[in-house]
Amino acid sequence: MSLRKRHAPPSRAKARGNAVTPRAVEVTIDELGARGDGIARLLGELVFVPLTVPGDRVIARVEGRRGDGLVAALVEVQAPGPDRADPPCPHFGRCGGCSLQHVGATSYGAWKRDLLVTHLARHGFADALVDPLIQVPAGTRRRATFAFHRSKSATILGFNGRASHTVIDVDSCLLLDPALAALIAPLRRMLGEVVAAGEDGDVTILAADSGLDVLVEADARLDLFDRERLAAFADSHDLARLSWRRPGAGFVDPIARRRPAMVSFGPVQVEPAPGGFLQPTKEGENAIAAAVLAGIGPARQVADLFSGCGSFTFPLAAQGRTIHAVEGEEAPVRALEAAASRAGLKVTAEVRDLSRRPLHAQELKRFDAVLFDPPRAGAAAQAEMLAESGPDRVVAVSCNPATLARDLQTLAKGGYRLERVTPIDQFPWSAHLEAVAVLVRTK
């Protein structure tokens, strides 16, 4: 896909306060920033230009400010840098799902690992042992959420556009497990039959071990004929489960449950709630679990905090350990408890908001090790409690290098030593990165 476009001649601009006069400029890209945008310098200011690589000489249109720099849109690549590659996806540049398909594989891998190295260094871990990057290939994503819009003439189904809420219609996605990709076109037709014009919504699809699990979230009021259409869709595409939920409602309407939508965590089968969180790829989950098991070491009593429905609870429990799982939402905890009961494992579970009520010193005393895997905001409150009186070993899993580094700094101030960090890229062509950090108490 060519990035060459018509452009206006470069011009200088006037800026007053935060307002920026749009203008075209000619710049050379020096590096990739933390979001994957190219960074250039212009009259002493940083200029962030998406879809560029180091060495590119480009015409860009300055359009505003972001943080400590200017934001610009790419107009034309005058001379490509050595790391520029041809994006393999026809939707690249419009779809907001991938931002780095134009970067060569070697440079991309080095940049992705360096995201973690840079954030650790900013928080005092300049000599941290960061393992080589583990990369999960494209075409393996088992869970994805699509946006849709039903207009008068068509149903648009895909992903939000770059820096936009506009839905980009897609007919394929290189990231997806083939089973998910194959359902895009039939799903679009089905939504066109049951959703009224003007409606928007989301569809989450999981490739469970026992078949596809689909959750539609939309405000449509389903009548008997709609339900029959949906049930027929589940039958014709051999779905394990098809559910519907109105936005803001806690209740999930079970349209068709043809068989349990089971997933495996180690040797244990779990049926997550419709739309429940799982690691996006099985390969990535396995890599994280391996790093977690190695980091926990010989500990027998383990707390699994922000446990979800048991991604790491069950690989740990299957080794004969006693696990206490804590999660803020009830549905994952109930799924975890049911699976633990069926498997006869030594697992207890608790529904608890750890951001507001972290495990305190007295509760932490009974554990030999703690694992935590929080949302992107991190585990600031729990890290403070662990720093005060945590066990000998802590393993931190994170999808956000910035909040991970912050929480690790808290633990280090409390007497922990960072032993190693493993970066795992299960979000190809994006600025998202998973990591597993292992810490041991030294005082």
Residue 182 to residue 173: CA distance in whole angstroms: 10
**430 in Cβ contact with 100 (< 8 Å):** yes
CA distance 167 to 222: 23
Cβ-contact 197, 152 below 8 angstroms: yes
d(CA 187, CA 261): 19
3-state secondary structure at position 286 = helix
Sign of the C-alpha dihedral, residues 171, 176, 178, 184?
Answer: negative
In a 10 Å sphere around its CB, with 0-12 CB exposed, 13-18 middle and 19+ buried, how is residue 109 labelled? middle
Taking the C-alpha atoms of residue 149 and residue 96, their distance in angstroms, rounded to an integer, is 16
Check if 399 is active-site: yes
Dig out the tokens for 237 from the structure: 């595409």
CA dist list (Å): 140 to 169, 202, 284, 435: 21, 21, 9, 19
Distances (CA, A) of 158 to 192, 195, 233, 234, 410: 14, 16, 19, 20, 40
Using CA atoms, how far residue 216 sits from 95, 145, 196, in Å, is 21, 10, 14
> How many residues in the chain?
443
Considering 89, 95, 98, 399, which one is annotated as catalytic?
399
**Using CA atoms, how far apart are residues 344 and 323, in angstroms rounded to an integer?**
12
Q: Beta strand pairing status for 143-150 and 200-208?
A: antiparallel
d(CA 283, CA 281): 5
Contact 195, 229 (CB under 8 A): no
With b meaning 16 or more CB within 10 Å and e meaning fewer, what string describes 130-154?
Answer: beebbbbebebbbbbebbbbbeeee
Contact 277, 266 (CB under 8 A): no
Angle 380-389/401-413 helices, nearest 10 degrees? 20
The secondary structure of the chain in percent helix, strand, coil, rounded to multiples of 5, reads 25, 35, 40
Q: Which residues are catalytic?
A: 399
